[in-house]
Structure 1
Amino acid sequence: MQPEVVDQYDVVIVGGGLVGASLVVALAPLNLRVALIEASTPPQTGPSWDERCIAINDGSHRIFESLGVWPALLSEASPITSTHISERGRFGVARFAAVDVGLPALGYNIPFRHIGQTLWQAAQKTAARLICPARLQAMEQSADAVQLLLDSGEKISTRLVVAADGAQSAVRKLLGITAQTQDYKQSAIVTAIRVTRPHGGVAYERFTPGGPIAVLPKPDNACSLVWTVPSDHVEAMLAWSDAEFLKQAYETFGERLGNFKEIGRRNAYPLTQVMSAQLTAPRVIFAGNAAQSLHPVAAQGFNLGLRDVATVADVLATAADPGSAETLAEYERRRSDDRERVSGFTDRLVRTFSNRVPGLRGLRHLGLLALDLTPPLKDAVMRQNLGLGGLPSKFARE
């Protein structure tokens, strides 16, 4: 015997990570019945100097301001006042500075923990029902609703499902929707370092044949370090002593920040691009990593997902039926170009700067010089990196 439907909602969000929790907060001002399904209770860990961070751009900063969570996030945010992009062994450099566009910062480097805790606390203050811990077991679509069965046996009904449940989306799999996966055969080793020269708010991205090494500002002369390397090198690199790892990272990065004198915990993450074959399905929207999971080069992934959130909220603000075909088509229309542009941009960066074809290094060198010296090209890339490339949202007005 099927469990009875006990609750009905306008919107059910599957996945309570950064994107899902952001959407709960974004929908709070609307007259909608909202529920969130999240499998894991958010951990209540405290801060540490070497914790993992996420770089958000100015567009994301504006969205967080509109959501009312920016004052809380700012307490642990390190401003990125400029970026410095180079290639190991070449002189070509591209520089971008906040002062050039009249901003206090191009973006901010913020602990993942702090963003998650801040958004979850904000979500708990809304009228939304947070069903946690709970897992989605089955879905059944009809013309005017979606029935969701949870692992507790509870069955709920909603007019719209927003899948924000990550690159291996359970919603996508339950619906039989495919995803294109590109395995870069690279992994990101993520840690933190202390440096002997003040970083001055500069974020560095240095391309090497094995992959980029990124160094981003943290408080107290500490920096986030994201070192992309061939996956078959990871095991050996994680086995290095701290001194050996610091030595190799310093030699790869260079002298701009002085010596690397202390290192935190190291974790490795395999890198793939996962693109859902569809942005929508009947009465379903995909957002964040459930729609597209990108290589971390240029730190575009979460910022793109937050623009998904802003667009969902924008579209639902005027929708008579949250899950209607017209609502889904409008979301897809507003997100498709931004999604394709950013995913293509990150993919080309990885392929171009990891390619060892003879003669290509010289072209990359000239490309970095041209980027730094050609104002229209530099402005276009700056706009993209600030997160202003998509259709405008009321959550991120220019």
Structure 2
Amino acid sequence: MPREVDVAIVGGGLVGAAVAHGLAGTPLSVALIEPAPPAAGAADWDERCIAVNQASYRILQALGVWPELSRVSAPIVSTHISERGRFGVARFTAAEAGLEALGYNVPIRRIGEVLWQALVRAGRSQLLAPASLSGIGLTETHAVLSLHDGRRLRARLVVAADGMHSPLRGWLGIAAQTRDYAQSAIVTAVRTARPHRGCAYERFTPDGPIALLPKPWAAEENVCSLVWTTPRSGLESRMQCADAEFLAAAQDAFGERLGRFTELGRRQAFPLSRVMAAELSAPRVVFVGNAAQSLHPVAAQGFNLGLRDAATLCELLAVSAGDAGAPELLRRYVELRAPDRSRTAEFTDGLVRLFSNRVPGLRGLRHLGLLALDLAPPLREAVMWQNLGFGGYTPSAARSTR
């Protein structure tokens, strides 16, 4: 274990590992601290996936890991947004954006594996795993990290990628605003009678959205990831009911656009809340990914926002001279990330609150809003490019089209 590094990354999940890999081509010394590195696992047809938008696809391409991920990804070539009980529909296509795909649905497990394997192959980062922190101290020139086994590590900059309930955030006294949606996301997979043809569906219901996305599995076009937002009061019954009952309820909420649901995968449930750190930096520390913000999964923005955090930070560190934790570098990171973060967080939160509001008259306004989104070119373009990841500052890695 090194006694001192330029950059210490706390948390080796998807965003933390992306930061470490993004710094592999720089002269900076890097240590990555992770309690449980990803274990290789066999692919399952119903494993959990995540939607990677166009900006994130380019970042993963710039990191050199996309060729491997492309083998297990399903392209999203169009989206279909609707509200149950209304005729208004908004559609977006890759063709109108001049792209091959709006994004890709990729197994979360595989992204973690590929990033970690790339770090091991590069051999540039010190991988301290399994290892975890017990505290942090600050001096004018360094952060001093204490590990549970008694070792200490000095770093010019600490990258906090330690999750929604970031211990580093707590130790540093950084507050976080939390909004509990009183909902959980049930994540599973379904087989459908009709092929999805690369279309991702999001259908809003009074209880929350239900989404079906093309799922990568053995070149089938009849397998979809299903994410069903469920009020906490009804979660247990949906998790415990028989498969046939669950499929019937999901079919009723979603409709018949993909025909009948014929098979159900394993069900997993995740509580939903929005957690926004009050600050994106502290002396010698920056926050990225879920440690900076954790969002509702509607429109699949959270991971993509975190990956832009990682790419922007790597871009700044790659051209920095000398001190990786210099105050001016931290200020610049906050300047670049704050607008994108605020815009994306308010966009997702606004969707959840608007479409779950049962105030009389709002249903008609939502219907008109979906129609306007489908028919008004300026509004369509603004929403489309926001969802593609280009609504704010675009890091250099996401500008690349190679």
TM-score (ref. length: structure 2): 0.97
DSSP 3-state at the match of 2:399: coil
Q: 2:185 aligns with which of 181, 184, 188?
A: 188
Q: Which residue of 2 aligns with 1:340?
A: 342
DSSP 3-state at the match of 1:30: coil
Provide, for residues 164-220 of structure 1, a one-character-per-residue CA deviation record: whole Å limited to 9, x for no partner: 010000110111211000000011000000001010000000000000000000131
Q: Distance in 2 between matches of 1:16 and 1:316?
A: 18
Q: Is this contact kept in 2: 1:80–1:201, CA < 8 A?
A: yes
Q: Is this contact kept in 2: 1:196–1:260, CA < 8 A?
A: yes
Q: Distance in 1 between matches of 2:97 and 2:177?
A: 37
Q: Which residue of 2 aligns with 1:314?
A: 315
Q: Which residue of 2 aligns with 1:270?
A: 271
Q: Distance in 2 between matches of 1:250 and 1:6?
A: 55
Q: Distance in 1 between matches of 2:390 and 2:116?
A: 26
DSSP 3-state at the match of 1:372: helix
Q: Is this contact kept in 2: 1:6–1:154, CA < 8 A?
A: no
Q: Which residue of 1 aligns with 2:282?
A: 281
Q: Is this contact kept in 2: 1:6–1:155, CA < 8 A?
A: no
Q: Which residue of 2 aligns with 1:80?
A: 76
Q: Distance in 2 between matches of 1:215 and 1:336?
A: 31
Provide, for residues 213-241 of structure 1, a one-character-per-residue CA deviation record: whole Å limited to 9, x for no partner: 00000131100000001011000111110
Q: Which moved more, 1:323-332 or 1:213-222?
A: 213-222
Q: Which residue of 1 aligns with 2:291?
A: 290
Q: Is this contact kept in 2: 1:212–1:227, CA < 8 A?
A: yes
CA apart distance, 1:152: 1.3
Map 1:12-51; keep pairs closer than 5 Å: 12-51=8-47
Cα-Cα RMSD: 0.9
Q: Distance in 1 between matches of 2:157 and 2:367?
A: 48
Q: Distance in 2 between matches of 1:347 and 1:6?
A: 42
Q: Distance in 2 between matches of 1:140 and 1:125?
A: 32
- Counterpart of 1:264, as a letter, is G
Q: Distance in 2 between matches of 1:394 and 1:363?
A: 39
Q: Distance in 2 between matches of 1:346 and 1:94?
A: 16
DSSP 3-state at the match of 1:76: coil
Q: 1:94 aligns with which of 90, 112, 119?
A: 90
**Is residue 161 of structure 1 aligned with residue 158 of structure 2?**
yes
Moved >4 Å (runs of 4+) = none
Map 1:1-398; keep pairs closer than 5 Å: 7-126=3-122, 127-218=124-215, 219=217, 220=220, 221-320=222-321, 321-397=323-399
- Counterpart of 1:348, as a letter, is G
List alignment gaps of at least 5 residues for structure 2. Answer: none
- Counterpart of 1:306, as a letter, is L
Q: Is this contact kept in 1: 2:12–2:37, CA < 8 A?
A: no
DSSP 3-state at the match of 1:357: coil
Q: Distance in 2 between matches of 1:361 and 1:120?
A: 46
DSSP 3-state at the match of 1:258: coil
CA apart distance, 1:45: 1.4
Q: Is this contact kept in 1: 2:183–2:230, CA < 8 A?
A: yes
Q: Distance in 2 between matches of 1:7 and 1:390?
A: 38
CA apart distance, 1:347: 0.4
List alignment gaps of at least 5 residues for structure 1. Answer: none
Q: Distance in 1 between matches of 2:150 and 2:397?
A: 37
Q: Distance in 1 between matches of 2:91 and 2:363?
A: 19
Q: Distance in 2 between matches of 1:43 and 1:200?
A: 32
Q: Is this contact kept in 2: 1:59–1:387, CA < 8 A?
A: yes
Provide, for residues 354-375 of structure 1, a one-character-per-residue CA deviation record: whole Å limited to 9, x for no partner: 0000000000000000010000
Q: Distance in 2 between matches of 1:235 and 1:76?
A: 32
CA apart distance, 1:389: 1.4
Q: Distance in 2 between matches of 1:60 and 1:178?
A: 28
Q: Distance in 1 between matches of 2:399 and 2:121?
A: 25
